[in-house]
C-alpha cells in the first residue's frame, strides 16, 4: 500500500509534515529544560505554566486556522511561505536565547505561539492535496501509517532532544538554529508539490454563496448538515471530559497509594504514559482487518468499556500490571479510532471545509481538557481520589449509554 503512493507526491507531503512535527517536538522539551535550568521560584512556575498554555493555544484556534485554510488560494505556495517564516522565527529564537532573562523567554514563548498557530494553518492548507492524491478506499490505512510514523518519530525526537542539548553544551541558540534548518528543509520538500487541481476556495462565489458558504457560520452549517458528523463530535466532546482528567487523577492516585506503584512514583507515571503512547502508535501502524469492519462509534464504545474496567481495577486496588494491560488495549483502540474518524471526514463531500471540520474536532477536544480536570481533580483534592474514580466510572457508564443511544439513532435513520 505504501509503495503505491511512495513514488507519487505523497512522499513529499509526508516527509515535509514529519519534519515539521519533529522540529516542534524537538524544541518543546528543550524549552522546558531552558526554563527549569535558568529560573527559580515563582518565575519558573509562571514560565512553565505559560509554556503549557502555548501548547494549548493552537488547538483552541484550530477551527479558525482551518476555516481560513479552506478559503486560501494557492495552498501549496502559502504553506511553503509559512515554513520559511517558521524557519526565520527560529533564527529569531536563537538570537534571544543567547542571553536568557524573563523578558527574552517571554518573547520566545510569544514567537513559539506564532510558530505553532501558523503551523496549524499550514497543516490545514495541505489537507486538500492529501485528498487529491490518496484514494478514498486507501485513506484510512494511509492516515494510520503516516500518523503512526509521525508519532513515533516525534517520541524519538523528544528523547534525543535533551541528548543533543548536552552534546552542544546547553547552547540553546544552536538548538534553535537546528530547528530553523529542519523547517527550511520542510519548505524545500514542499517545492516538489504541485497545486491541487481541486481548487477549493478559488471559485468566484455567487451572491447566494456569499451569504451561505463563505461565512464562518455558513461553513459550520454545511459541516453539521452532514449525517453523523454532529453525533461524532458530541461523542468526542463528552468522552474528552473524562479522558482529559484520567491522567491527572492517576498521578494523584499513585502518589497517595505507594503500594500501587511499580518501583517508584516517577517510574510508574512514566510507564503509564509510555504504555498508552506506544499502544496508540501500534494501533495506528497495524491495519488489522477486523478493525476495518468496526465503526468509529463502536471503537470509542469499546475503548470506554476498557477504560471503565481499568478505573475499577484501580479503585479496587488490584494489580497495577492488570491496569497497564487494560490501558494498552485502550491506547491501541485510540490509535485506530483517530485515523478512522479523520479518513471518514476526508471522504465526505466537504472539500471546501475539510480543514475547518478537522480543526473543529481538535478545538472541541481541547476545550474539554480544563473542564474534566477541574471537575475530577477538584473532587480528588477536596475529598478522596477513590471518590473521583468512582464518579469517573459512573460517568463512563453514562457515556456508554449515550454511545448506544447514538448508534440506535443512526441505525433507525438507515
Which one is predicted more confidently, 3 or 328?
A: 328
- Report which DSSP code applies to 264: B
Quick one: pLDDT at residue 88?
96
Answer whether residue 38 shows pLDDT above 80.
yes
Place of cell 459512573: 394
Distance in Å from the first CA to the final CA of the chain: 32
Burial class of residue 55, CB neighbours in 10 A (0-12, 13-18, 19+): middle
Rounded CA-CA distance 323/310 in Å is 5
In the chain, what percentage of residues exceed pLDDT 90? 32
What is the average pLDDT across 333-338?
Answer: 87
Of the candidates 223, 181, 263, 202, which has an alpha carbon nearest to the alpha carbon of residue 361? 223
Give the C-alpha separation, 90 to 204, whole Å.
37
> Does the structure show a pLDDT above 60 at 199?
no
pLDDT of residue 208: 45
Cell of 32: 522546558
Residue with cell 503551523: 119
DSSP 77: H
Q: Residue 284 in contact with residue 336, Cβ under 8 Å? A: yes
Higher pLDDT residue, 312 or 281? Answer: 312
Across 161-175, b (16+ Cβ under 10 Å) vs e yields beeebeeeeeebbeb
Res 245 pLDDT > 90: no
**C-alpha–C-alpha distance, residues 249 and 236, integer Å:** 20
pLDDT tens figures, 289-315: 677 778 889 999 999 999 999 999 999
Q: If pLDDT is split at 50, 70 and 90, which confidence band does 209 have?
A: very low
Please give the angle made by the CA atoms of 21, 171 and 57, to the nearest 5 degrees.
35
Question: What is the model's pLDDT at position 175?
Answer: 93
Q: Using alpha carbons only, how large is the chain's radius of gyration in Å?
A: 22
pTM here is 0.72
pLDDT, one tens digit per residue, over 369-412 is 778 878 888 898 889 999 999 999 999 999 999 999 999 988 88
Q: Which residue has the higher pLDDT, 89 or 343?
A: 89
Q: What is the mean pLDDT of residues 112-125?
A: 91
C-alpha closest to that of 78 among 216, 209, 201, 215: 201
Contacts of 186 (CB under 8 A, 6+ apart): 16, 17, 19, 20, 23, 83
Q: DSSP code of 135?
A: -
In order of their start, the domains of the chain are 2-203 (1.20.1250.20), 219-413 (1.20.1250.20)
Beta bridge partners, 264, equal: 262
| pLDDT value at 212 more than 70 | no
Q: How confident is the model at residue 320 (pLDDT cuts 50, 70, 90)?
A: very high
Q: Give the pLDDT confidence score for residue 414 in this predicted structure.
A: 64
Q: Kindly tell me the burial class for residue 203, based on how many C-beta atoms sit within 10 Å of its own C-beta (0-12, 13-18, 19 or more).
A: exposed
Average pLDDT over all residues of the chain: 84
Residue 243 scores a pLDDT above 70: yes
Region for residue 205 given its phi and psi (left: phi exceeds 0; alpha: psi -120 to 50; beta: otherwise) = beta
Percent of the chain exceeding pLDDT 70 equals 90
195 compared with 261, residue with greater pLDDT: 261
Amino acid at each position: 500500500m505504501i509503495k503505491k503512493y511512495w513514488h507519487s507526491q505523497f512522499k513529499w507531503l509526508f516527509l515535509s509534515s514529519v519534519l515539521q512535527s519533529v522540529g516542534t517536538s524537538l524544541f518543546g522539551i528543550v524549552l522546558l529544560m531552558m526554563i527549569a535550568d535558568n529560573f527559580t521560584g515563582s518565575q519558573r512556575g509562571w514560565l512553565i505554566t505559560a509554556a503549557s498554555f502555548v501548547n494549548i493555544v493552537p488547538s483552541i484556534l484550530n477551527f479558525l486556522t482551518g476555516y481560513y485554510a479552506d478559503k486560501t488560494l494557492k495552498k501549496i505556495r502559502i504553506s511553503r511561505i509559512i515554513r520559511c517564516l517558521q524557519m526565520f522565527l527560529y533564527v529569531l529564537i536563537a538570537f534571544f536565547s543567547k542571553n536568557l532573562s524573563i523578558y527574552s523567554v517571554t518573547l520566545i514563548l510569544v514567537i513559539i505561539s506564532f510558530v505553532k498557530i501558523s503551523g496549524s494553518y499550514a497543516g490545514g492548507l495541505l489537507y486538500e492535496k492529501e485528498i487529491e492524491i490518496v484514494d478514498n478506499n486507501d485513506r484510512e490505512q494511509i492516515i494510520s501509517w503516516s500518523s503512526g510514523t509521525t508519532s513515533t518519530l516525534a517520541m524519538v525526537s523528544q528523547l534525543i532532544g535533551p541528548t543533543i542539548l548536552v552534546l552542544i553544551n546547553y547552547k540553546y541558540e544552536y538548538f534553535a538554529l537546528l530547528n530553523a534548518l529542519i523547517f527550511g528543509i520542510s519548505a524545500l520538500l514542499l517545492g516538489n508539490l504541485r497545486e491541487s487541481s481541486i481548487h477549493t476556495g478559488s471559485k468566484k462565489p455567487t451572491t447566494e454563496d456569499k451569504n451561505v458558504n463563505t461565512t464562518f457560520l455558513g461553513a459550520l452549517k454545511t459541516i453539521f448538515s452532514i449525517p453523523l458528523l454532529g453525533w461524532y463530535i458530541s461523542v468526542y466532546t463528552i468522552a474528552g471530559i473524562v479522558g482529559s482528567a484520567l491522567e491527572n487523577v492517576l498521578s494523584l492516585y499513585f502518589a497517595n497509594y505507594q503500594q500501587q506503584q511499580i518501583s517508584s512514583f516517577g517510574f510508574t507515571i512514566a510507564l503509564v504514559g509510555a504504555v498508552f503512547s506506544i499502544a496508540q502508535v501500534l494501533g495506528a501502524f497495524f491495519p488489522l482487518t477486523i478493525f476495518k469492519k468496526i465503526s468509529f462509534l463502536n471503537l470509542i464504545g469499546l475503548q470506554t468499556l476498557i477504560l471503565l474496567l481499568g478505573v475499577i481495577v484501580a479503585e479496587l486496588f488490584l494489580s497495577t500490571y492488570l491496569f497497564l494491560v487494560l490501558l494498552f488495549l485502550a491506547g491501541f483502540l485510540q490509535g485506530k479510532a483517530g485515523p478512522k474518524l479523520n479518513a471518514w471526514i476526508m471522504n465526505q463531500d466537504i472539500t471546501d471545509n475539510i480543514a475547518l471540520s478537522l480543526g473543529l474536532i481538535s478545538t472541541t477536544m481541547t476545550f474539554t481538557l480544563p473542564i474534566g480536570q477541574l471537575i475530577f481533580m477538584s473532587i480528588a483534592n477536596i475529598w478522596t481520589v477513590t471518590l473521583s474514580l468512582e464518579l469517573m466510572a459512573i460517568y463512563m457508564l453514562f457515556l456508554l449509554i449515550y454511545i448506544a443511544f447514538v448508534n440506535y439513532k443512526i441505525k433507525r435513520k438507515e
